[in-house]
Chain A
Amino acid sequence: MTGGGTAHLRSGQDILLRVQDLEVSFGSGPHRVQAVSGISFDVAPGETLGVVGESGCGKSTTGRAVAQVHRPDAGTVRFDGTELTTLGSRELRQARTKVQMIFQDPISSLNPRRRILDIVSEPLAIWGLGTKEERHRKAATMLEAVGIDPAQAGGRRPTEFSGGQCQRISIARALILEPKLLICDEPVSALDVSVQAQILNLLQDLKEERAITMVFIAHDLAVVKNVSDRVAVMYLGKLCELTTPDALYRQPAHPYSEALLASIPEPVPGSERGHTGLTGDLPSPIDPPSGCRFRTRCPYAQELCAREEPPMAEVAPGQFAACHFPLVKPGQVLPEPGPAPEPPRPVL
């Protein structure tokens, strides 16, 4: 299976989240879409796992299935010693206080008719924590931590804020219950580049201050590289590659990772890398290709790829890829990273 197998899962006790053979599908009968087809990954405490892929690859569904927003059809989600998939709704609500999400569209994820202070303190109100004054005080501290002035903003409504500010408010709401795991579903893709940098820096600071573990879902590899400790590349409901961001950039092992990297425009004239000839669109997940799902767009595809699904295998220490013909051969020594590339302008 592309992304099947569990060779990339770490043994050892110190794992906060372990997802195994996760399957999620929507609809029924001939229109049944399997959005996630058996993926496995794990996240250690304090780690950020980046999940990248094109739209329709199942990355958002994966994030939602971890938080049990969509109940998976099969597979296990073990979080902090608890198996989430078998929990009843009451226990699940309790467990979810430790797993929070922030979403792509910051404006539509806040109720336009409510005041900011009420929005941010609502999770506390739901759990009946503290008096109203205490809740509001805590919400104000949280707003301050995300760079919003509570005295000025607390009484206003979401429509009076920009996208970047709304995303800060969403982050405050997600963090007020002090979750262990934060699932970020494309948190910056609707924002301008300048604001995007502000939000990414904020997430990084909060993560360090509060020792939060993150699953960061995005389609922009440069953004994912900036925030992640490990990166999972997804294609059509399956995992292609799982490795550190620096290894992925230096030497992608899966042809799809290579193609993704090559298509990112770099803001440096003359930097255009050779086109890898990734043509066409994602095939339909209703009727995915046999064997390796990427073979229909893969420049290296062979007859074997149509017959058999490649399992995840370690191609280099800490680098796992699901490909019959990985670009990094097992046992091959990777070139050491050279000196850091010169920035276009000297940094002051």
Chain B
Amino acid sequence: MKTLEELRKIREKAQADINLRGSNTRVKVIVGMGTSGIAMGAREVMKAFLDEVGKRNLSDVQITQTGEKGLTSMEPIVDIVIEGNPIVTYGEMNAERVIKVIEEHIIGGNVVNDFAVAVD
């Protein structure tokens, strides 16, 4: 059980985390893990990110999950959040595309236009 004071502190910290402010994370990879996403292979995509990021020793990349955005027909969906940049949403992801996104976007800094579906 937390007090109100503690809750407010958690709120401030969580808000900073969401915006990647003052953390060691430079890039956040958010994999859509709703029923549709999982059915279309989101678990494999998640695993591919974990494997590749581990293999390349990218310590400033954080991988996390979320629910569905609503774009059911283009699952699995992945968001790439880089501080100070618009959030890029990729659709119809698979293990092959994961490598491309890591190499070109996360490391290289260029959006992979071929399978980006939205930029916010």
Whether chain B is bound by chain A comes out as no
A contact residues vs B (CB 8 Å cutoff): none
